[in-house]
Structure 1
Amino acid sequence: MTQHQGSLAGKVALITGASSGIGAAAARVFTREGAHVMLVARREDRLQTLVKELRADGAQASYCTADVQSAADMRRAVQQTLDTHGRLDAAFNNAGAAVEKTPLHLMDDTAYDLIMDTNVRGVWNCLRPEIGAMLTTGGGAIVNTSSVAGLVATSVAAPYIAAKHAVVGLTKVAAVEYAPHHIRVNAIAPGLARSEMVEDWFTRFPAQEAKSKASSPQNRMAEPEEIAEAAAWLCSDRASFVTGATLPVDGGATTW
């Protein structure tokens, strides 16, 4: 990695769900663009490996094990960011969870609670300490991960669709409330993207892969880095007049 004056040069960014998939890709993209990163996830072994890789390439990276379902954990993660890097300029609230689709009337409360506590309460738990930290330094930028399932009713579990719609709502209200404080809040809505969960799904249901890819005009799945690039742009000053937006990163899926 060659450090350069990229779009996030000198900024301190916190990334949740950073142990794999889009979050890990974001760690690489953000540091390539010059950010100092605090990586947050539950799996410490993966965070350690990723931080070691980033540091070997010249990046400034650290990690904090935390669960976004816990408000105390996220307060601790933000405080550790401030203690380690001195400030917080950007946050990518990317951690999420999903379950297999079953008919809504057959889905139990455990599945519903997992989805809501991770995808909605998790964003809520992240936003509050992040905003609090940014208020002390004059502003910042936050990106929440929604989904195309936050824009339309896709063929996934009902609680996931409800949760990702809620992320869009939280994004809009935070954007309006904190615009006077120079804090921008946006969301991305990824379509089909390569991840542990998606790869496992296609392994178990091989016939689903072609059908899923055909759901977008580009007829393929995104690489995690392609999603992370959108988050990095929204966190950068290049998106200075963008707030309250939900950006589809879906290969055109929501145009149909």
Structure 2
Amino acid sequence: MHTYSLFEHLLFPPTFLNRKQLGCQLKGKTILITGASSGIGEQLAYLLSEIKVHMILVARREDKLLAMKREIETKSAQVSVFPADLRNQKEMEELLTFLHQLPEGLDIVISNAGHSIKRSINQSLDRYHDFTRTMAINYFAPVQLLLSTIPLLEKKQGHIINVSTINALLLPLPYWAAYQASKAASDSWFRSAAPELNMMGISATSIYLPLVRTPMILPTDAYQKLPAMSPQHVAKIICNSICTKRKTYKPWWLIFGQLASILFRSWWEFLIPRMLRKKGNGNEGV
């Protein structure tokens, strides 16, 4: 587990989690977690392992999911694993069929699977697939999954938690066009749908995260020295949101970034092309 620096402690203050309340609230419920084989999804599954819940863990790596199942089921939780690439239509349809055949129904969906990519436009001219595959996993897959499971969640007065990024609420950054467009689309769709979901009795929570120290950021060398939240901390935030049904989680300091995005947008748009020209046309892919 990553130990926070003093600066990270300031940026990411501890999250109190009432484990007894969480256990009482979740006992006997069925929870779907996408992107479950590493990072946030993995730590969330282990955090819930002491509770008598049925977790459905979805990710591409079947061997990792099976190893998690063996470890978690030595405790209190029951685990079903469903290896699937949610960009693959056949595998998505098989997952949806499985979910609709659950005898106990579905109570909570944690939409966590995602893909990040950093690459300049100049280096993307012959890589249209970067945009289609990023949009496929970050936007189209969660939308299809939720559209299909909303009737199941409505029956149980369930809860959807959408794991998003603070970038969706800030000015777009160079080199992140594919990633930020897909996450902004997902966030806009979910916020637009949330009032209708609430009307049906389904709680909707958006979790806006800063940089998180997961395997997804490892290929980007620049990230290794930046402050980042631990996936264990994020798992606590998600569990806390399950208890409170809060509509959003944002880092306390994000408001200053949002204000700056409004107040200094013209300056940013004036200065950033000049900064990029000095730096050169960088390229880094994840």
Name which of 169, 173, 188 aligns with 2:188: 169
Partner in structure 1 of residue 249 of structure 2? 247
The structure-2 alpha-carbon separation of the partners of 1:233 and 1:7, relative to structure 1 and needing over 3 Å to count, comes to: farther
Partner in structure 1 of residue 231 of structure 2? 224
Does the CA-based 8 Å contact 1:148-1:191 persist in structure 2?
yes
Does the CA-based 8 Å contact 1:74-1:129 persist in structure 2?
no
**Structure 1: runs of 5+ lacking an equivalent:** 214-219
Alignment RMSD (CA, Å): 2.4
Q: Identity of paired residues, percent?
A: 26
Pairing of 1:12-161 with structure 2 (within 5 A) = 12-81=30-99, 83-84=101-102, 86-103=104-121, 106-107=124-125, 108-135=127-154, 137-152=155-170, 153-154=172-173, 157-161=176-180
Under a length normalisation based on structure 1, what TM-score does the superposition of the two structures give?
A: 0.81
Question: Residue 28 of structure 1: CA displacement?
Answer: 1.5
Distance (whole Å) between structure 2 residues aligned to residue 150 and residue 104 of structure 1: 23
Question: Residue 46 of structure 1: CA displacement?
Answer: 0.7
Distance (whole Å) between structure 1 residues aligned to residue 216 and residue 47 of structure 2: 21
Partner in structure 1 of residue 212 of structure 2? 193
Structure with max Cα Rg = 2
**Structure 2: runs of 5+ lacking an equivalent:** 1-18, 258-286
Residue identity in the other structure for 1:233: N
Does the CA-based 8 Å contact 2:213-2:230 persist in structure 1?
yes
Residue identity in the other structure for 1:228: A
The structure-2 alpha-carbon separation of the partners of 1:8 and 1:170, relative to structure 1 and needing over 3 Å to count, comes to: same
Matched residue of 2:26: which SS? coil
Question: Residue 78 of structure 1: CA displacement?
Answer: 4.2
Number of residue equivalences: 235
Does the CA-based 8 Å contact 2:36-2:58 persist in structure 1?
yes
Distance (whole Å) between structure 1 residues aligned to residue 234 and residue 47 of structure 2: 10
Distance (whole Å) between structure 2 residues aligned to residue 125 and residue 138 of structure 1: 19
Does the CA-based 8 Å contact 1:187-1:246 persist in structure 2?
yes
Distance (whole Å) between structure 2 residues aligned to residue 147 and residue 83 of structure 1: 32
Distance (whole Å) between structure 1 residues aligned to residue 178 and residue 152 of structure 2: 31
Question: Residue 91 of structure 1: CA displacement?
Answer: 0.5
Does the CA-based 8 Å contact 1:9-1:33 persist in structure 2?
yes
